[in-house]
Every structure is written in structure tokens, then in C-alpha cells.
Amino acid sequence: MILLLTRKRRTLGDVAFDNLNVIGMLVICFVTLYPIWYVLVNSFNDGQDAMSGGIIYWVPRTFSIENYTTVFQNAGIMTAMGITIAKTVLGTVIHVFFTAMVAYAFSRRELIGRNFYMIVGTVTMFFNGGLIPNFLWIRDLGLLDSFGVYIYPAMFSFFDLVIFLAFFREIPDGLEEAAKIDGANDFSIFARIVLPVSMPVVATIALFHGVWQWNDYFTGLLYTNKEVLQPIQTFLYRVIAQSSSNQMVQAVGGAINRRVTGQSLKMATMVITTFPIVIAYPFLQKYFVKGLMIGSLKG
Amino acid sequence: MPVSMDTDTRGHPNPESIAYGRPDAAKRRPFLARLWNQRYLQAMALLGLVWMILFNYIPMYGLILGFKDYIGIGSPLGAPWAGWSHFRAIFEDDQMSQVIKNTLGISLIKLIVGFPIPILFALFLNELRSIRFNRVVQTISYLPHFLSWVILGGILTAWLSDVGIVNDILMGLHLVKEPIFYLGEPQYFWTIAVVSDVWKEFGWGAIIYIAAIAGISPELYEAATIDGAGRFQKMRFVTLPGIRGTISILFILAVSGILNSNFDQILVLKNQVNESASNVIDVYVYQVGISQGRFSYSTAVGLVKSVIALFLLLFANSVTKRINQSSLF
């Protein structure tokens, strides 16, 4: 009784509201997680068994890891996975380093022509050539059917530069001055001093760009025809958009196993494709929340 | 975009450079000496400039393609001029009215349905008593944002197929008699596009509101409690007004993006049977331009879209400025 009295007074309405609110949130969590759970469950179910009818809702009906072993043994899918990993790692490292480097130069007050540089950059946030001129120019640059098409056109973004800029302004000048007196040039000040103290913003941009690189299917669709260059997302797009499960079986080709189906292989590939991101993002949460704030306020 | 004006070349004392401990004398050094002194800095900035010229400005220049007859061979610049003929052709294009209807229709419903949901979610999340539960719900709500549209497209095609989970449930409840192939029926396409978009982005969209709510002074809530305000009254009269500025800015930006249908999403969900409901401007430009090779015409369509979008953005920007001045600061 005493405990009840000393606690903050909650009316009956309050209690009802709180409980309903918690239930509502649980429903939202369920709706968010269930589609992903469904894919996971079906990826671990025997393909033929899933075909035999009925929906597998909660747990695998006939547990099997054959979908995964088939996918992992398939050279085509593994190549696509390799392309995705390569373009994400290389693309993100280069994008972050290059954009941060330009941002650092733009952030220095004594930079001659700073206003000009900023205006040139700001224009790119509002105008662009659009799909067709971009496509033709990339073609004329000779980037079609080359790995570079994933890297060079994505090396830089003025939006990201603005986020870096907001962060670099906060760095105390004394840090750079000291290095300057020691005779360091501006590039090594950037690379050795500024970049290491900017890890929060580096993590934010790396996450945003990394997720984009990992999930992007359109670049592969638009600019490459060679199968060895297609990332996993483009591969999946082709399988899903053609919406025939046989496509998947055909793609997996000769190594086909009788128990797996196009649908079950699709599910396993989807899980493999999504897994790294689902594992990584909760740990990076504190960074992207802050980065999103800066980006939306300044952009 | 704040562009500071401190590159003072006439040698006037610059208060900022004094504040940062840089002697004024540095400003008076000859221009070339200063330039040489910052050669590394200039090299870094120039690399950015070169990239922007190469990947932003040259494609922008490529927009003149809309005024030419380019058939895909040789240099676009050498193609014969076509004047405004491609722009006139837009008005005679039979598919254009359908494309515009789909673009605006899907965007408007996304705006009406998809815009308030993150706000409501943030409001109710804020009312949770357990901080830990609040964090868990938040983290879960971000998850779909990190899935690609290809993955979501894979889930949707599985769920919405005639032997999929949606038909299974609806037939179990006797709401439908025959299984329906939802992605093959144009009348369902807008709903599918809107619902899947909301599912994917509501949690991500709420981040900014959650941060804005966190910035509201606790004293306001205490004062409201003393005045005898209940839960809903506090939500209505303290929290909501506290994030009104954020809401209006995001609303105006959302309005300005109304011609951008979600290209990645539509391209995944679109097929030949639902085309009459799924063909939006961006997808149309892609198909006419890339698949059919009508480069000049689709450039013209894209250019018209960009110009309208730019006006919407400038309009939105000026309204945002006015709102910021009058209601926030």
C-alpha cells in the first residue's frame, strides 16, 4: 500500500493507456519482424516439401540446409556475392576518404576560391543530368561493363560533404596549427590528424554509403551486361523481376539438387544477402542517428 | 546553404581570422604566395572540382540531347538539332497522361498515408515508460530500412502470389473465394506500393521526430502536469507543438519530392500485367530511353520533370524559410 501511495499517481486511464501502448508497440514489432522471419524459416525448409502445399508460418516443417549448401556451391552466385563485397568495401573506403578529403579542403577558411567551390557543389544538389545523359556519358567514358562503374561515379557526394563540413568545423584549430608548426603539409594533416579524430562522422557516412553500395541493384542493371560483373542484388532483381522461379533454378544450372526449388533457393539467397546488414546496423545506430540529424538540418 | 564570406582579398581585418589566431599579415601576402602556400589544400579541392565536372556538370550539359535527334551512335554532340520537337511530342504522347496519373497518384497517397505515420509512431514511442523497451522497439523499426527493394520485392512476390500467405489468410477468413494474383491486378498496385513503402520507412522516418521530441524541455511537461494535463493533453499541447517546426519542414520537403516516385521500388514491383497502374515518370524514362533507345525523347521527358521538380523545391525552400523565421526563431 505504502509503495503504491509513494509512487507517481497513475489513474486507471493511465494504466490502460500504457498497457495498450505496449501492446500496440509489440504488434508493430511483430509486423516489422515477421516478414523477415518468414523468409528465414522458408530458407531452412526443404524446397519440395514447401511446394507440396500449405504455408509454412512459424518454424521449418522439414528442416534442411540444402538450400544454403546449393547456393554456396553455385559459382555464379558466389561470384555475384564477391562483386557485391568488393564494390561495397572498395566503394565505401574510396567514397569516405575522397569525400572527406575534399570536405576538409572546403572547410578551411583560408582556401582561396572557397565560395566558388561551395557554389559549384551546391548546384549539384539541385541539378543533375538525369538518367539518359548520365548513361550516355558513362558509356562514352568507357565504363560500361567494367568494375569501375561501381566506384568512380559514386566516389563523391556533395550531400555527404556537407555532413563532413559540419563536423570538421567543430575540430579545434589548435590541433592543426601544432601540426603545421611541425612542418606537416595540409594533406598529411588531413590524413593523420583530422580523419582519425572524425571517426563518428566517418562511421556515419561509411554506413550510409556502404548500405547503398550493398543494396544497389540498378547500377549493375543499367551499366553491365557481363554476368561476372553483376552484384548479388542485380542477380536477384533479374530472378525476381522475371518472377519465374525457374529462372533461379536455371541460374543455378547443372549443380541442381532435386530437393531444392527456385523459391527455396531464392529465400536462401535473400537471407545470405541481407545477413551482413542486419548484423551490422544495430551497432552503428548511435552514429547514423546523429548523422541523419546533421544531414537533415544542414541539407 | 550557408556560404561564409570570409575570403577577403582586400586586406581588411577579418574578425574570424583574428579569433582563430591567424595573424592579419598572412592575408596581406601576395596572392601567388598565398596560393603556393596552400597548394596541397588547392590540390585536394581541385580533385573534388574535377570529379563534379566529370560526373555532375558534363551530364548536365548532356541535357542538350533533348533538343537534338540522337539515335545512339557516335558523339551526342554531333547529332542534328531538333529544336523543341521532342518537348512538343510529350503533349502528344498517348501514355503520358497515364504516367502522370500514376506518378501523382502513388506519391499523393504515400504523402497522405506515409507522412503522419512516423509522427504518430514517435509520439506513442515517447509515451512508453520503459526506456529499454523504447530502444528495442526503435531498433527493430529501423530494420526494414536497411533491406533493399530487391529483397522486399522477393518477399512481396512470394506473399502476394496465388499460393502465398495473403491469399491463405484471406481464404481462411472467407474474405476471398478464389486466390488472387495481386501483383498481376492493376487495381491493387497502388495499395501494394504504399503499404510496402510505409512498412519499409516508417521507423527510419521517425528518427528525426524522436530526436526533436528529445529536445523538448522537461519543464514544459512538468508545468503541464501541475496544470492538471492528462496524457493525451500533454501529447496534443506539449509534444506536438514542440515538433511542429520539424513537421512543417519535412512536409514541405516531401511535397517538393512528389514527382520522384520511388524508382527502385516501382521497378522491382512492376510487371507487364500491372503496367497500367505502375508506369511512373522515372520508369517510363528508363524504358523509353534505355530499352527502346529513344535517347533524345526520354531526355526531354526527364528534363521537364527536373524543371518542375526544381520549381517545387524552390517553392518549398522559400516556404520553409518563412516558417522557420516566423515560428521557430
Tell me if chain B has a CB within 8 Å of the CB of A158: yes
Region B16-29 average pLDDT: 52
CB proximity under 8 Å: A 245-284 to B? 263, 266-267, 270, 273-274, 277-278, 281-282
Of B5, B151, B154, the CB nearest to A115: B5
CB contact under 8 A, B45 and A102: yes
Lookup: cell for B236: 496534443
Contact predicate B236/B289, CB 8 Å: no
Residue of A nearest to B32 (CA): A112
Q: Do A17 and B127 touch (CB under 8 A)?
A: yes
**How many angstroms from the chain centroid is the CA of residue A41?**
24
Asked whether the beta carbons of residue A25 and residue B21 sit closer than 8 angstroms, the reply is no
Tell me whether residues B303 and A24 touch, CB distance under 8 A: no
Residues A117, B142: C-beta atoms closer than 8 Å:
no
Can you give the residue ranges of every domain in chain A? 2-65, 74-241
Q: How far off is chain B from A11, nearest CA to CA, in Å?
A: 10
Cβ B114 vs Cβ B206: under 8 Å: no
Q: Picking from A231-245, B148-162, B253-267, which range would have the lowest pLDDT averaged per residue?
A: A231-245
Whether the CB-CB separation of B141 and A32 falls below 8 Å is answered with: yes
Question: B3 and A115 in contact by Cβ < 8 A?
Answer: yes
CB burial of residue B156 (10 Å; 0-12, 13-18, 19+): buried
| Cα B241 to Cα B251: distance, rounded to the nearest angstrom | 15
Scanning the structure block, which residue is given the C-alpha cell 563523391? A156
Average confidence (pLDDT) over B45-55: 97
Element of type H or E holding B168: helix B165-172
A293 or B238: whose pLDDT is higher?
B238
DSSP letters, B183-225, are: GG-HHHHHHHHHHHHHHHHHHHHHHHHHHHHHTS-HHHHHHHH
3-state helix, strand, coil in chain B (%, to 5): 75, 0, 25
Phi-psi region of B47 (alpha: psi -120 to 50; beta: other; left: phi over 0): alpha
Q: State the pLDDT confidence band at B54, using cuts at 50, 70 and 90.
A: very high
Cell match 579545434: residue?
Answer: A172
Out of A57, A115, A267, the one facing B7 most closely (by C-beta) is: A115
CB atoms within 10 A of CB A186: 24
pLDDT average, residue stretch B165-178? 90
The rounded mean pLDDT for chain B is: 86
The ipTM is 0.89
CA distance A272 to A40: 10
Contact (CB, 8 A) for B251 and B319: no
Query: Residue B8 — very low, low, confident or very high, per pLDDT cuts 50/70/90?
Result: very low
**How far apart are the CA of A5 and the nearest CA of chain B, in angstroms?**
18
Average pLDDT rounded to a whole number, residues A191-199? 91
Q: Is the pLDDT of residue B323 over 80?
A: no
What pLDDT, on the 0 to 100 scale, is given for residue B3? Answer: 40
B298 neighbors B99 (Cβ within 8 angstroms): no
Percent of chain B with pLDDT over 90: 58
**Which chain A residues contact residue B22 at CB under 8 A?**
110
For the segment B197-222, the average pLDDT, to the nearest whole number, is 92
Q: So what's the pLDDT on residue B144?
A: 95
> For position A251, what pLDDT does the model report?
64
Tell me what pLDDT residue A257 has.
Answer: 57
pLDDT tens digits along A14-40: 889 999 999 999 999 999 999 999 999
Q: Please give the full DSSP string across B211-269, using - where no structure is assigned.
A: HHHHTS-HHHHHHHHHTT--HHHHIIIIIHHHTHHHHHHHHHHHHHTTT---HHHHHHH
Q: How many CA atoms lie within 13 A of A290 on its CB side?
A: 14
- Residue B49: what pLDDT? 98
Q: Domain A74-241 belongs to what topology?
A: MetI-like fold (1.10.3720)
* Residue B25 pLDDT exceeds 60: no
pLDDT digits (tens, 9 = 90+) for B109-124: 999 999 999 999 999 9
Any chain B CB within 8 A of the CB of A9?
no
Please identify which residue in the block is written with the cell numbers 501511495. Answer: A5
The highest-confidence range among A257-261, B74-78, B295-299, by mean pLDDT, is: B295-299
Which pLDDT score is estimated for B232?
86
Using one digit for the tens of pLDDT, what is the confidence trace for B285-318?
Answer: 999 999 999 999 999 999 999 999 888 878 877 8
Do the chains contact at B7 and A112, CB–CB below 8 Å? Answer: yes
pLDDT given for residue A10 in this prediction: 74
Instruction: Report the pLDDT value the prediction gives residue B250, as an integer from 0 to 100.
Output: 85
Domains of chain B in start order, with CATH, are 87-328 (1.10.3720.10)
- Whether B5 sits inside 8 A of A14 (CB atoms) is no
A13 touches chain B (CB under 8 A): yes
Q: Does A236 touch chain B (CB under 8 A)?
A: yes
CB nearest to A240's CB, from B16, B59, B150: B150
| Predicted pLDDT of residue B120 | 96
Which segment of A168-177, B9-18, B267-276 scores lowest on mean pLDDT?
B9-18
* Cβ contact, residue pair B154, A266, below 8 Å: yes
Taking each helix axis from N to C end, the angle separating A75-107 and B39-52, rounded to the nearest 10 degrees, works out to 130
CB count within 10 Å of CB A110 equals 17
Please tell me what DSSP assigns to residue A247: H
Q: What pLDDT score does A1 carry? A: 40
Those residues whose C-beta lies under 8 Å from the C-beta of residue B195, and which sit 6 or more positions away, are none
pTM for the whole thing? 0.87
- Identify all chain A residues contacting B43, using CB atoms and an 8 Å cutoff: 187
Higher pLDDT, A52 or B321: A52
Mean pLDDT calculated for residue range A30-55: 90
